[in-house]
């Protein structure tokens, strides 16, 4: 298996990264133009979210052709140039494989619609009367998870948008097609893959109503998911590559199974439990401040649990589906730089492989949109309506979107303080936060005290120190709600990571033997000796 433990992976959302031709959409040549910036940050791999031909109902997660480049993003020659240029800088590429579903514009679905039985078996079609869906399951984007096709007299399953039809992994021909797609990209020089919601691929043998929830308990980490992943890894020839599965609403036990090396499934996986600690009663669309105790418990459970079971975590706060961490768990005003750095340290020094989402390394914030016309995301637009149907006023619905919309993480990368933050010379496909005039890459890359410089240090430390990339982890002070503290150790050296999760001073109960330890890293100017308290959002890393 490729060594991924000392690497940091950088996620690029190409549509919002850099526009090379002025059409308002980021593209592959834009990514190539920024490789020196990424090399300076020190990342080893780029995960590119989908740039394949797509109607873009879900920004590319509705794939119409898995083997081509959407002309909106460039050409296959552009991609090949990006692979070559990245390789020259020691950077590999990971592509995003959306294998739970295809766009309904994919040729397979179109042939199914035309009545070809072979392709109907590629999807989950069920006979039934038009007035009763096969089950009461709810789509993750709101509304029913089934759509009726009068011309066929059948329903099809779509766990996401109606234009994203779930594939039938029971069908060996589907599994063979998907493995072939992996081989196609591997032959192009791709180093790894990210698999979208891959723990939803195995559906139950019997489809039944869910009287307790939205249906997810029947298809999440489904009955044959491990078998399918083992088969895909072998048939796709991806062992030895870097692979990460996005696991929706998953369990620790399953994630150990997905990633323990002797299982031959994946290198690592994303879980989202720590990103739901501000969901009131588990509801994404009900606001509350983050529950810090819950956050600490989840980190402890997943870090120590994956270690005990031999699994491997992907470490992250941000991605294209999440609000910006500094706005959510930090303070994007008074302690903007301090909290952005503390959050970076908290994640990067854990056991697992860290991911940086574009703009996180310069402390990009939530979008600050105040009108529904500014939103583009299908889920946000659906929930704006659903929240009002549930009795919220338009202003209340907008307040919820301002905190929870996926568009918070999709605004253009802020390269400099010029118009549109240097992202495009045209009209950007989505607006930008007003703060791009001072929060931008150009303002930070030469500044040794910047958030960018701090992230650069984190990336370098992981390469330099085996205790970070390979060492064990143990969490400390479980009852202190303000302090996230853990120890990394490997028998040769030891680190103590202390993070104040709050905007107030937090007392610092140093464990025995650490008083004289050396300071490895911090986000405030160093004081003489080890302090008795941590300043707001301070992080301090000691080494002995």
**Which distant-in-sequence residues (6+ apart) come within 8 Å of 136 by Cβ?**
144, 209, 210, 215
Residue the block writes with tokens 């109607």: 55
Judge residue 68's burial from the number of C-beta atoms within 10 Å of its C-beta, 0-12 exposed, 13-18 middle, 19 or more buried. middle
**Radius of gyration over alpha carbons of the chain, in Å?**
23
CB 377 within 8 A of CB 56: no
Spatial distance between the Cα atoms of 18 and 111, rounded to a whole number of angstroms: 36
| Other residues' Cβ atoms within 10 Å of the Cβ of residue 301 | 14
The DSSP secondary-structure symbol of 438 reads: T
Q: Which two tokens stand for residue 135?
A: 């089950």
Spatial distance between the Cα atoms of 381 and 250, rounded to a whole number of angstroms: 26
CB 311 within 8 A of CB 256: yes
Spatial distance between the Cα atoms of 325 and 479, rounded to a whole number of angstroms: 23
Judge residue 86's burial from the number of C-beta atoms within 10 Å of its C-beta, 0-12 exposed, 13-18 middle, 19 or more buried. buried
Q: Indicate left, alpha or beta for 143 from its phi (over 0: left) and psi (-120 to 50: alpha).
A: left
Cβ-based nearer residue to ligand L263DTV3, 338 or 379: 379
**Which distant-in-sequence residues (6+ apart) come within 8 Å of 400 by Cβ?**
285, 286, 287, 383, 387, 392
CB of 501 to ligand L263DTV3, least distance (A): 22
Q: Which two tokens stand for residue 535?
A: 């300043």
Q: Please indicate whether residue 173 is annotated as part of the active site.
A: no
CB of 58 to ligand L263DTV3, least distance (A): 5
CB 384 within 8 A of CB 411: no
| Footprint on this chain of ligand L263DTV3 (rule: CB under 6 A) | 58, 61, 98, 140, 160, 196-197, 246, 248-249, 272, 320-321
Q: Considering the candidates 166, 246, 332, 338, report the single residue annotated as catalytic.
A: 246
CB 157 within 8 A of CB 201: no
Cα atoms found within 13 Å of the Cα of residue 372, Cβ hemisphere only: 17
Strand partners, 487: 474, 496
Q: Considering the candidates 196, 231, 321, 379, report the single residue annotated as catalytic.
A: 196
Cα torsion 5, 363, 301, 210 to 10°: value is -110
CB 330 within 8 A of CB 278: no
**Which distant-in-sequence residues (6+ apart) come within 8 Å of 379 by Cβ?**
140, 141, 142, 405, 406
Cα atoms found within 13 Å of the Cα of residue 347, Cβ hemisphere only: 28
Residue the block writes with tokens 């920004």: 59
Q: Please indicate whether residue 36 is annotated as part of the active site.
A: no
State whether residue 284 is helix, strand or coil.
Answer: coil
Active-site amino acid positions: 196, 246
């Amino acid at each position: 298996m490729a060594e991924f433990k000392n690497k940091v992976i950088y996620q690029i959302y190409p549509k919002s990264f850099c526009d090379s031709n002025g059409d308002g959409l980021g593209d592959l040549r834009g990514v190539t133009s920024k490789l020196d910036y990424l090399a300076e940050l020190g990342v080893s791999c780029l995960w590119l979210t989908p740039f394949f031909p797509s109607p873009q109902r879900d920004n590319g997660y509705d794939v119409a052709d898995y083997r081509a480049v959407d002309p909106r993003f460039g050409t296959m020659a552009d991609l090949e140039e990006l692979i070559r240029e990245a390789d020259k800088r020691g950077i590999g590429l990971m592509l995003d494989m959306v294998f739970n579903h295809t766009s309904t514009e994919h040729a397979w679905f179109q042939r199914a619609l035309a009545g070809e039985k072979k392709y109907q078996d590629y999807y989950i079609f069920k006979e039934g009367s038009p007035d009763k869906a096969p089950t009461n399951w709810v789509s993750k984007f709101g509304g029913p998870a089934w759509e009726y096709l009068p011309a066929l007299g059948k329903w099809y399953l779509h766990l996401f948008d109606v234009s994203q039809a779930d594939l039938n992994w029971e069908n060996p021909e589907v599994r063979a097609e998907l493995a072939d797609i992996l081989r196609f990209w591997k032959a192009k020089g791709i180093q790894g893959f990210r698999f979208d919601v891959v723990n939803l691929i195995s559906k139950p043998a019997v489809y039944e109503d869910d009287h307790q929830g939205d249906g997810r308990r029947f298809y999440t980490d489904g009955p044959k998911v491990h078998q399918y992943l083992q088969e895909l890894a072998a048939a796709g020839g991806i062992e030895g590559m870097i692979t990460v599965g996005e696991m929706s609403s998953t369990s620790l036990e399953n994630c150990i199974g997905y990633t323990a090396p002797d299982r031959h499934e994946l290198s690592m996986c994303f879980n989202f439990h720590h990103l739901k600690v501000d969901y009131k009663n588990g509801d994404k669309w009900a606001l509350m401040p983050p529950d810090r105790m819950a956050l600490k418990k989840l980190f402890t459970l997943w870090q120590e649990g994956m270690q005990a079971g031999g699994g491997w975590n992907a470490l992250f706060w941000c991605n294209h589906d999440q609000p910006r961490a500094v706005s959510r768990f930090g303070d994007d005003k008074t302690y903007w730089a301090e909290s952005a750095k503390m959050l970076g340290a908290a994640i990067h020094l854990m056991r697992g492989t860290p991911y940086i989402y574009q703009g996180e390394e310069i402390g990009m914030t939530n979008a600050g949109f105040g009108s529904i016309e500014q939103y583009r995301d299908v889920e946000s637009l659906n929930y704006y309506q659903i929240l009002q149907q549930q009795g919220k006023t338009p202003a209340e619905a907008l307040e919820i979107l301002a905190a929870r919309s996926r568009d918070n993480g999709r605004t253009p990368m802020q390269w400099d303080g010029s118009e549109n933050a240097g992202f495009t010379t045209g009209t950007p496909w989505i607006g930008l936060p007003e703060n791009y005039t001072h929060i931008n890459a150009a303002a930070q890359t030469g500044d040794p005290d910047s958030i960018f410089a701090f992230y650069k240090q984190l990336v370098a430390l992981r390469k330099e120190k085996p205790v970070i990339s390979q060492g064990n982890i143990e969490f400390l002070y479980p009852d202190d709600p303000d302090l996230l503290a853990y120890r990394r150790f490997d028998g040769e050296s030891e680190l103590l990571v202390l993070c104040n999760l709050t905007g107030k001073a937090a007392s610092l109960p140093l464990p025995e033997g650490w008083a004289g330890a050396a300071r490895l890293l911090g986000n405030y100017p160093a004081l003489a000796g080890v302090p008795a308290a941590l300043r707001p959002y301070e992080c301090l890393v000691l080494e002995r």
